[in-house]
Structure 1
Amino acid sequence: MNIEQAIERLHSQLPLRDRQQALPTELAEVHRAILRSFIEQGRPLKSQEIAAMVTGGDASEALKRLGDDDLVVLDRTGKEAVGAYPMTLSDTPHRVMVAGHSFHAMCALDALSIAPMYDKEVRIESRYHVTGEPVTIVQQGMNIVEAHPSRDVRVGVHWQNPCGAAAHSMCLEMVFLRDADAAAKWQGGDADSITIFTLEEAVAFGAGFFKPLV
C-alpha cells in the first residue's frame, strides 16, 4: 500500500476532511481555530472563546455539531472540547511538546502529523507498543531530526472502522513499534488489516491526511 492509498483508506474510515468541508463556513473556522489553539496556547479553545466567534454568541450548538461529526472530542459534560484530531488534553501514551506547550496526540500517527501541519519543531515522548520501552522523536516540519533509541522505529496501523469516537477506538491501534522485526511480529502476516510504515512514510501519511484541515 502506497501513501496515497493509505490516506484514502483512512479518509474512508475517518472522513475528517469531508466533514470539515461540509460545515458552514463559520463552524469550519471554529474547527481550524480549535486546532491552532493547541499550538498557540497548548489547549483547545474554551467555550467562551468559541462563543465570541459564532453568530448569536452560543458555543453549545457549535460544539455539539463538531462533536457529533467527531471533529472534536468533548468532555463528559459536552460543554468543552478536550481534543481535536490529532491533538488532545486526554492522557495517552504520546506526549507532544511544541512551541513551549505540552499536550498529547491521540495515536502514533497523529503525533507525527503535528509538525508538518504547522511546520513546527515537535518533540514526541512515547513508548513502543507491546514492550512499553520509551521512544523519543524530534521533528522539524516534515523532517525527522532525531529518534532515540533508534531511527528504525516503525508505525503500525490496524485498519478498522471507528466504534463511537475514533479517539477511543481506532486510534488505540495506531502505534509505535521498536523496529522492523517487532513490526513484522505484530503484523503477524495480516497485511490486509495491518500496515507497517517507516517513520518517514508515517510522516508523509499523517501530513497528507491532516494538513488539509489547516
Structure 2
Amino acid sequence: MLRRLMPGQDACAGDGDGMVAKAEELATEIRPGVVRPDWSAVTTPAARNALSGRMSARAGLLDKWSHALDPDEDLVWRNILKRYATMGRPPQAADLAGDTGIPSDRVGALLRKLQLRDLVGLENESDKIRHAYPFTESETGHRVGFGRHVLSALCAIDALGVGDMYRTDIRVQAQCRSCGETISVVTTDQGRKLGSVAPAGAVIWYDFAYGDSAASSCCPSIAFFCSDEHLRRWLEGQEPARAGVRLSMNEGLELGRAIFAPILREPVSALP
C-alpha cells in the first residue's frame, strides 16, 4: 500500500490505520508495521531531497512498489537476502523451497513476480538470480565486506545500505568514477554511522534516471567520487546531462539506510 505520510508522525508508532512514519512523502507498508523507505533515517536536507527526488522522478518504480507483496512473495524476498548473508551468493529455487516450505515450482513463479516488482533480476528463461538489491553477480566496482563474505553491490547507495539492513558493520571499497582512485568506507554502530572515509573528501552522485529497472538505468551512474572536483568533471562530460543529487558520505549513508534498512525488519504486531 502506497501512503502519503503526514507531518509529525513518528516511525514505529501506531495510528488508526496501523502504520506511520515521520515524513511528508510517499512510502509503502511492505509488511504489517514496516514502512519503506524509512524517512526517519534521513535527517539532512540533502538526503531528504535525494529521497524526495527519487520518489518523484521514478514514477515507474512507484507503480511497481505501490502495493505490499503477498506473504509468500515477501517470504521468498527476505529469504533471498538472508541467503546472501549466509552463503555469499544468491540461492537457487531449491534452497528457497527448503527455507520457506513453498514448492519449487511455486518459488519460480514468485521469483518472476519479484522481478516484475524490480526487487530481483533473473537470467533470461531461467529462475537463476542475477541480482537482488543491493547485491549483484556482476562486477560493478562496489565491493562490500561483512561477516565472512565480500559481495558486489549494484551502486554506491546500495553498498552503504547493506550495514543497517543486516544490523552489522561493513567495509566498502570502490573506485572514483572519474580517476579510479580507491575509496574506502567503514561503518560503526551496526552500519548506522560512519567510522572512516578515505579519502576524506569523497562524495557520491545519486542519479534519478529510471527505465525498466534500477539495475539497468540509474545504478550504473550512482557512484563514488574522490572529490567534488572529480564529480564536477565527470558531470561535465555526461551526454545528455544527468539529473540527480550530490551527496556527502554521511548523506549517502542516510539514504542507503532509508531504502534498505526496512527490508529485513519483522512485522510489527498490532496493538491490542
Deviation at 1:89, TM superposition (A): 2.0
The residue type paired with residue 144 of structure 1 is L
Q: Does 1:201 align with 2:245?
A: no
Deviation at 1:56, TM superposition (A): 3.8
Cα distance 1:61–1:38, how it changes in 2: closer, same or farther (>3 A)?
Answer: same
The residue type paired with residue 137 of structure 1 is V
Residue equivalent to 2:168: 120
Count of aligned residue pairs for this structure pair: 211
Residue equivalent to 2:152: 104
Residue equivalent to 1:210: 260
Q: Does 1:174 align with 2:222?
A: yes
The residue type paired with residue 10 of structure 1 is R
On the 8 A contact 1:11/1:17 being kept in 2, the answer is no
Deviation at 1:84, TM superposition (A): 0.9
Provide the TM-score with structure 2 as the length reference: 0.70
Quote the Cα distance in structure 1 between the aligned partners of 2:244 and 2:255.
15
Residue equivalent to 1:133: 181
On the 8 A contact 1:20/1:71 being kept in 2, the answer is no
Greater shift after overlay, 47-56 or 199-208? 47-56
- Equivalent of residue 76 in structure 1, options 117, 124, 140: 124
Deviation at 1:180, TM superposition (A): 2.1
Deviations along 1:63-95, whole A, 9 cap, x unmatched? 111112211011234311122111112211111
Structure (1/2) with the larger helix percentage: 1
Q: Does 1:146 align with 2:190?
A: no
Deviations along 1:124-147, whole A, 9 cap, x unmatched? 121001211222222231222222
Deviation at 1:57, TM superposition (A): 3.7
Quote the Cα distance in structure 1 between the aligned partners of 2:115 and 2:81.
14
Deviation at 1:182, TM superposition (A): 2.1
Cα distance 1:159–1:30, how it changes in 2: closer, same or farther (>3 A)?
Answer: same
Moved over 6 A (4+): none
Cα distance 1:134–1:192, how it changes in 2: closer, same or farther (>3 A)?
Answer: closer
Q: Does 1:45 align with 2:91?
A: yes
Cα distance 1:179–1:4, how it changes in 2: closer, same or farther (>3 A)?
Answer: same
On the 8 A contact 1:95/1:124 being kept in 2, the answer is yes
Residue equivalent to 1:31: 77
Cα distance 1:83–1:63, how it changes in 2: closer, same or farther (>3 A)?
Answer: same
On the 8 A contact 1:158/1:174 being kept in 2, the answer is yes
Deviations along 1:1-36, whole A, 9 cap, x unmatched? 632232233244274797385211111121111112
- Partner of 1:82, secondary structure, is strand
Cα distance 1:38–1:16, how it changes in 2: closer, same or farther (>3 A)?
Answer: farther
Provide the TM-score with structure 1 as the length reference: 0.87
- Partner of 1:2, secondary structure, is helix
Quote the Cα distance in structure 1 between the aligned partners of 2:126 and 2:213.
13
Quote the Cα distance in structure 2 between the aligned partners of 1:98 and 1:192.
32
Quote the Cα distance in structure 2 between the aligned partners of 1:99 and 1:17.
35
Greater shift after overlay, 50-59 or 67-76? 50-59
Quote the Cα distance in structure 2 between the aligned partners of 1:125 and 1:79.
30
- Equivalent of residue 209 in structure 2, options 149, 152, 160: 160
